[in-house]
Amino acid sequence: MKLSLQEIENILVRFPGWRRENEALVKTFSFPAYMDGVHFAVRVAEEAERLDHHPDMLIGYQTVTLTCTTHDAGGVTERDVALIERIERLL
Ligand SMILES: C[C@H](O)[C@H](O)[C@H]1CNC2=NC(N)=NC(=O)C2=N1
């Protein structure tokens, strides 16, 4: 079930750097080099497979931007929160 705007705001307090953009949770991660971001993206992909919940990933030169939304629900759900929790633990 989609979380309300208020629920999302309350959750975001626990996750520095994450923001809400429309119907998604978004964060841009910075890395010293391009391949560091690529390796991070692979680890995120492995975690996503474990959870069966998959973020959109944009790999930049020294950044990776993750966009987490639940397509089936058309917005942010607890599945996205579980995913960003796991992603933060990868760092
Ligand atoms: C059957 C399977 O659980 C669903 O198709 C999953 C897979 N990964 C997914 N990932 C995301 N981001 N949103 C979804 O709705 C979604 N659905």
CA distance 67 to 82: 14
The pTM for the full model equals: 0.96
Q: How far is the CA of 17 from the centre of ligand 1 (A)?
A: 24
Q: For atom 16 of ligand 1, which residue has the closest CA? A: 53
ipTM: 0.93
pLDDT of residue 41: 98
Q: How far is the CA of 47 from the centre of ligand 1 (A)?
A: 13
Q: For atom 8 of ligand 1, which residue has the closest CA? A: 53
Q: How far is the CA of 80 from the centre of ligand 1 (A)?
A: 10
pLDDT of residue 82: 98
Mean pLDDT value across the chain: 98
pLDDT of residue 39: 98
CATH of domain 5-90: 3.30.1360.20
pLDDT of residue 48: 98
Band of the pLDDT at 75, cuts 50, 70, 90? very high
pLDDT tens sequence across 32-62: 999 999 999 999 999 999 999 999 999 999 9
Find where tokens 């979380």 sit: 3
